[in-house]
Structure 1
């Protein structure tokens, strides 16, 4: 399995200095022994769609770009046009996976009643983008996420029912499945046939911590209570040989330390 890290958290504060911050991200995760990276798809605009410049930086730090992450808006046609641009950029950088996520709401609660009509809309769009990806030798991976219409097990099941398994795959996230009330190990077993990409992060189990925004409970690997040994065994049992991408939305200290703690855990505990 290939070990990756996501870079958007280096790039959210100073847009006037994004190229330096992207290179700093690459420098730091390369130093820690990560093999690959992903980033939110906004990286294409930050670099004016210049894949050669990005490829030069990747080569400099001996890293591979494996994934771009697209956030849906409330305009499916615009989202598809964005996907066309992202897939073209991915072809030129060698990336294989395009993550897809539903529109987030910015207030509580993070889990709301199932909206079947919205999930059907996402399924239709995801099938369309999935066909585009397949035609280009790529995988479209939907990422269930807190504060979006596809989060809970029921909502994931509906999305899987409404999408073509040959076109739309899953990116399961160990922390979001935990927040949704699922047992991550059982979730990875259940959805193994649709799994094409994995996000790893830990969770503080104390629900009194940041009840207004539970995603603030996300932690580096080994700091919370997610059963990563069980998840790794599930992945091995089900023949998964893809990317394990570490991510952390909010840093206890800084991005480098979070990435270091997680890399040490993967090496020392899982032997990766």
Structure 2
């Protein structure tokens, strides 16, 4: 009827993007991954304006070249990503900082303001080999929280970026219990959370509840869904994360859980600007598979109001 507005609320604080992950990219260089030029072409053609850097070295690391490649496609960078093992204490700081500083510098040069921090895996995501105990000792928890605070401080001071720690399957920051323990033990001024809806569901968590309970700590979102039937089998068989992805545990929205509309509505209600970056883990995948999914997912998110 003329003059009527859509019943979908405008979630005007949410900025949507996608990432190399949604094109099956997990590594800087892998013959089973699409070339970076194709990723940039297709992510723009699918209707996204924001991207993450993905694995360092996949996209050009020269800031001038990357700025030109993104600019001419109408793309902007929301964040870089680093991998850390900070529960191992001060002994790994120098090694960690060497990894972080290159990525933080590129992230800053691209005009982004966030650095996604992923904890190290206790189980190898390719081979399934157990690398260390899945439960941290009290001392390891103290090292994890104190060293993450240190990272947050240094990244802010030197590069003007805010770290957002990403709870992830097969890491020590995974379940509701461990995520809330981590948040309760870290300084909100130094450490925020990248809530990945798929990983949190994979580990049994409720994203809406976390946003409602720890809203002031949510600094960034990854939008992802899990297939409940595949997840049930993966959990029952104790399948590592990498092979679980190969089985299709992460699925195209809106086919899985959690429902993304309530998550986005809860995020909007926080009253702050948030990135919501689509990540559908699909490594490895046929090169022609990601683009149609990306187009459909962008259309679905528009129907949710973003």
> RMSD of the TM alignment (CA)?
2.6
Paired position in structure 1 for 2:164: 141
1:26 to 27, 33, 40: 40
Paired position in structure 1 for 2:273: 241
The answer to whether the 8 A contact 1:80-1:125 is kept is: no
2:117 to 86, 100, 103: 100
Q: Is 2:214 the partner of 1:203?
A: no
1:198: how far off? 0.2
Structure whose CA Rg is larger: 2
SS of match in other structure, 1:119? helix
TM-score by length of 2: 0.79
Aligned counterparts of 2:154 and 2:211: Cα–Cα separation in 1: 26
- RCO higher in structure (CA 8 A, sep ≥6): 2
2:82 to 64, 70, 81: 70
Aligned counterparts of 1:241 and 1:133: Cα–Cα separation in 2: 21
Aligned counterparts of 1:246 and 1:112: Cα–Cα separation in 2: 28
Please say which of residues 74-83 and 88-97 is displaced more in the overlay.
74-83
Please say which of residues 175-184 and 19-28 is displaced more in the overlay.
19-28
Aligned counterparts of 2:99 and 2:259: Cα–Cα separation in 1: 36
* Distance 1:146-1:11 versus aligned 2 partners, 3 A rule: closer
Q: Is 2:244 the partner of 1:230?
A: no
Paired position in structure 2 for 1:131: 153
Structure 1 segment 55-204 matched on structure 2, within 5 A = 55-73=67-85, 75-104=92-121, 105-106=123-124, 107=128, 112-135=134-157, 136-204=159-227
Aligned counterparts of 1:175 and 1:18: Cα–Cα separation in 2: 24
How many residue pairs were aligned? 268
1:112: how far off? 3.9
1:271: how far off? 2.1
* Distance 1:209-1:246 versus aligned 2 partners, 3 A rule: same
1:32: how far off? 1.1
1:239: how far off? 1.3
SS of match in other structure, 1:122? helix
Please say which of residues 72-81 and 84-93 is displaced more in the overlay.
72-81
TM-score by length of 1: 0.88
Aligned counterparts of 2:29 and 2:185: Cα–Cα separation in 1: 38
Aligned counterparts of 2:116 and 2:267: Cα–Cα separation in 1: 19
The answer to whether the 8 A contact 1:71-1:100 is kept is: yes
Aligned counterparts of 2:264 and 2:28: Cα–Cα separation in 1: 36
Aligned counterparts of 1:90 and 1:230: Cα–Cα separation in 2: 30
Please say which of residues 84-93 and 195-204 is displaced more in the overlay.
84-93
